[in-house]
Amino acid sequence: MKTATDSNQPFWLQKNLEEMTSQEWESLCDGCGRCCLNKLVDEDDNILTVAVACKLLDLDTGLCKNYKHRRKHVPDCIKFTPKTLHEYLKWLPDSCAYRLLYDGYSLPDWHPLITGNPDSVHDAGFSVKGKGFVSEDDVSVMDWHDYIICTG
């Protein structure tokens, strides 16, 4: 458990994930949109990320078009919480703040909480914005295997 030794430290250095307020928790999301890329699971239970994004992901901004009501429109959208995070870590990109902090690492220098700039994730190249991904509305699920970009 982290202990606050300096009240001037940012909240993510003072608290563990379970101690964070919902506002603090949500602010950890860097807005990369990479968790909104669809995944396939192979016969060995490896997760394969595909360049096919959730229909709610705005590929021009890298943000969800309807974040507040996303689960109404996409029932299998995973809601990450401090209590469920350990179950879903493998679905998150390795640069994800939730995953990094869970594993005992710090936030990267380009994270918006560090830079104060919400576009720093895009500027650093860690987002889906402008990467040429496609929406699941435009590609049949039967063709997703042609779009595999990451295995692991």
**12-29 pLDDT, tens digit each:** 999 999 999 999 999 999
**Is 111 a member of any domain?**
yes
Residue carrying structure tokens 């990450």: 80
Quote the pLDDT of residue 6.
60
5 within domain boundaries: no
Can you tell me which residue has the tokens 């959730």?
54
Q: Is 15 within a domain? A: yes
How many domains, the chain?
1
Task: Please say if the pLDDT value at position 152 is more than 70.
Answer: no
The rounded distance, in Å, linking the Cα atoms of 147 and 40 is 10
The predicted pLDDT at position 22 comes to 93
In a domain? residue 19: yes
Is position 78 within any domain?
Answer: yes
Report angle CA 125, 34, 148 to the nearest 5 degrees.
100
Is residue 3 a part of any domain in this protein? no
Q: Residue 90: which domain range?
A: 11-151
Q: Which residue has the tokens 């940012």?
A: 10
Q: How far is CA 143 from CA 33, 50, 57, 75, 138, in A?
A: 21, 10, 19, 22, 10
pTM value?
A: 0.87
d(Cα 64, Cα 72) in Å, to the nearest integer?
13
The stretch 46-56 carries a mean pLDDT of 95
Question: Taking the CB of residue 36, how many other CB atoms lie within 10 A of it?
Answer: 22
The share of the chain scoring above pLDDT 70, in percent, equals: 95
- Is 129 part of any domain? yes
From the centroid of its chain, how far is CA 77?
12
50 part of a folded domain: yes
Report the C-alpha gap between 146 and 144 in whole angstroms: 5
